Every structure is written in structure tokens, then in C-alpha cells.
């Protein structure tokens, strides 16, 4: 891909190509991304989701380069995320699930919820089940530490009403964390967020620099923990963001990861040549 495509002058954001060049030579690098809406196109049925062409190939290749850790970070639970992303037993790709409450790498997060949180989650799930009765077409998803209301595919008015009702249900309960997304509101009993989990993973694997991309409100937690000088954060799509860069869509993000791979491979090859 040409550097022109990655130049984001029109958005008023700094040149992504230059940022990737800087990152490619970092001795230790964490490359992490949100899944849905970033590595995978949205589908009407969230269980039909799968990675966009080229996405996993680029991530797998990055994960095999020296000093490079790759992670996928999602609101989905680790098990579902692994299945949808098509993670193989030979892959060296870390998974952070349930918005950072769960990790496939030990020592990153404490994913358990206590008895009080369990009781709260059970009550919340009952309330959400009642709520969706009033909003035909809205779907309930049970998660390990949360319950979500999905409205993808619904007429705009019905979707808005269902999401507002779910949001209000969560706002009324101070122990519940409300996480709005695209056509989804998630009500969580966990205090985890993608930013804390990303930081913890970077510490555990010893990565001094991080690349992170995502499209959702919950990805802002991750963008905010990154250093705008030494890290690169990429918002996928429109909307206000704390990210340093932006790409228009999933296809452009895959191209960005392929470009990062290309640049980092060059750095690794050069280092190999210089080595006595
Ligand atoms: Mg997303």
C-alpha cells in the first residue's frame, strides 16, 4: 500500500505512515486490536462474525517477529473471541475478552467475579429479559460478567428505544457499568476496562510501545492509556476519539496492519544483516 493512502491530512491527524515507521523500529512492540468493527466487519447476527480477509494473516506474521506481541481485545468472552477469530493452537496471539475482564495470558487480569457480583448479574439478566419483551427484535446476550442488548438489524426508531431503555436500566444501578456500543448496550458488573487490561498485558510481555486500534466507545479506554508520543492509536470509522490516528473502515485497518508488518519485517531483516 502506498504511503499516500495512509496520509490522513484531510482529517487533521498526523501522518499514519510516519507513525508506523517509528513504531516498526521499537525493540519491543505490542500490536493489539479490537475485533468487531476493526478486524471484522459487522454482521446482523453477532455469532456470524469473522475476521476480514488478510487480518489474521497479518497478525499471525507480526506475532512471529522478534520482540513483537499480538493481542485481540474484545467485549466478547475469550472463548467466543477465539472461535470467531479462528485462533489455532499454534497461534501466539493473546486474547483479552469481556472488555478486559478476561485474558488468555496468565497474570494479566483477575477475571473472576465475586458472589455479590454474581447475584447482581443474575438480577440484571432477569431485568433485561423483561425489558426486551417490550422491544421486539432486540436480543439478549449473556456474558461472563455482563448482559448485553443487541439491536442490529432493527428499524432505527425501535433500536434507539431499546438501547435507551437498556441504558436507563443500567444508569439506575450504581454498581452496574453501562457500556454503549454500535447497536448494543452492555451492562457489566465487572470494573475491568480495555485500557487497564492493555496496560497490564504490555507490562507482562515487556512491550515498551503499543499499537492499538478499535471502533467503539469502549476502545477509548485503551486509546487513553497510550502515550501519544511513543504509541500509535487508530480509531476505525467516524466519531470523537482520543486516538492519535484514524482510518475509515475495516479494510483500511487491515491495510494498516499489513503495512506495519512490512515495515517491521524490514527492520528485523536489516538488524539480521548488521549482526556479525
Ligand atoms: Mg468494536
How many angstroms does the Cα of residue 270 sit away from the middle of ligand 1? 35
How many angstroms does the Cα of residue 114 sit away from the middle of ligand 1? 27
How many angstroms does the Cα of residue 275 sit away from the middle of ligand 1? 41
How many angstroms does the Cα of residue 235 sit away from the middle of ligand 1? 10
**What is the sign of the dihedral through the CA atoms of 50, 251, 196 and 93?**
positive
- pLDDT score of 10: 47
How many angstroms does the Cα of residue 128 sit away from the middle of ligand 1? 22
Q: Kindly state the cell numbers that stand for 187.
A: 451492562
How many angstroms does the Cα of residue 78 sit away from the middle of ligand 1? 15
Residue 248's contacts (CB-CB under 8 Å, 6 or more residues apart) are: 236, 237
- pLDDT score of 237: 96
How many angstroms does the Cα of residue 34 sit away from the middle of ligand 1? 5
- pLDDT score of 272: 80
CB 267 within 8 A of CB 68: no
CB 183 within 8 A of CB 215: no
Domains within the chain, CATH numbers bracketed: 13-110+192-274 (3.40.50.1000), 115-188 (3.30.70.1020)
Quick one: which H or E segment has residue 184? strand 184-188
How many angstroms does the Cα of residue 36 sit away from the middle of ligand 1? 4
Residue 76's contacts (CB-CB under 8 Å, 6 or more residues apart) are: 35, 36, 84, 97, 98, 143
How many angstroms does the Cα of residue 276 sit away from the middle of ligand 1? 45
Residue 231's contacts (CB-CB under 8 Å, 6 or more residues apart) are: 23, 209, 210, 211, 212, 244
How many angstroms does the Cα of residue 37 sit away from the middle of ligand 1? 4
How many angstroms does the Cα of residue 104 sit away from the middle of ligand 1? 19
10-residue averages of pLDDT along the chain (276 residues): 44 81 96 97 85 98 97 93 96 94 86 88 97 96 91 95 97 92 91 92 96 95 95 96 96 97 94 76
CB 16 within 8 A of CB 23: no
Burial tier of 200 (Cβ tally within 10 Å: 0-12, 13-18, 19+): buried
How many angstroms does the Cα of residue 214 sit away from the middle of ligand 1? 6
- Going from the C-alpha of 99 to that of each of 64, 179, 217, 254, 266, the distances in angstroms are 25, 9, 11, 22, 33
Amino acid at each position: 500500500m502506498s504511503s499516500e493512502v495512509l496520509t490522513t491530512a484531510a482529517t487533521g491527524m498526523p501522518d499514519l505512515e510516519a507513525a508506523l515507521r517509528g513504531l516498526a523500529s521499537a525493540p519491543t512492540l505490542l500490536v493489539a486490536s479490537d475485533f468487531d468493527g476493526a478486524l471484522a466487519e459487522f454482521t446482523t447476527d453477532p455469532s456470524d462474525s469473522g475476521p476480514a480477509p488478510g487480518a489474521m494473516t497479518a497478525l499471525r506474521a507480526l506475532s512471529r517477529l522478534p520482540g513483537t506481541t499480538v493481542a485481540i481485545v474484545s467485549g466478547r468472552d475469550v472463548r467466543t473471541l477465539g472461535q470467531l477469530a479462528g485462533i489455532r493452537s499454534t497461534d501466539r496471539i493473546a486474547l483479552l475478552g469481556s472488555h478486559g475482564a478476561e485474558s488468555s495470558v496468565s497474570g494479566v487480569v483477575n477475571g473472576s467475579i465475586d458472589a455479590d457480583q454474581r447475584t447482581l448479574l443474575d438480577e440484571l439478566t432477569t431485568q433485561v429479559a423483561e425489558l426486551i419483551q417490550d422491544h421486539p427484535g432486540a436480543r439478549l446476550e449473556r456474558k461472563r460478567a455482563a448482559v448485553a442488548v443487541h439491536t442490529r438489524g432493527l428499524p432505527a426508531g425501535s433500536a434507539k428505544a431499546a438501547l435507551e431503555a437498556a441504558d436507563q436500566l443500567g444508569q439506575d444501578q450504581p454498581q452496574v457499568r453501562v457500556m454503549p456500543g454500535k447497536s448494543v448496550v452492555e451492562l457489566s458488573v465487572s470494573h475491568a476496562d480495555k485500557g487497564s487490561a492493555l496496560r497490564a498485558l504490555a507490562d507482562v510481555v515487556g512491550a515498551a510501545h503499543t499499537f492499538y486500534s478499535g471502533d467503539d466507545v469502549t476502545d477509548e479506554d485503551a486509546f487513553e492509556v497510550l502515550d501519544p508520543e511513543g504509541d500509535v492509536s487508530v480509531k476505525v470509522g467516524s466519531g470523537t476519539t482520543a486516538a492519535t490516528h484514524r482510518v475509515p473502515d475495516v479494510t483500511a485497518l487491515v491495510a494498516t496492519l499489513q503495512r506495519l508488518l512490512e515495515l517491521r519485517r524490514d527492520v528485523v531483516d536489516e538488524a539480521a544483516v548488521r549482526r556479525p
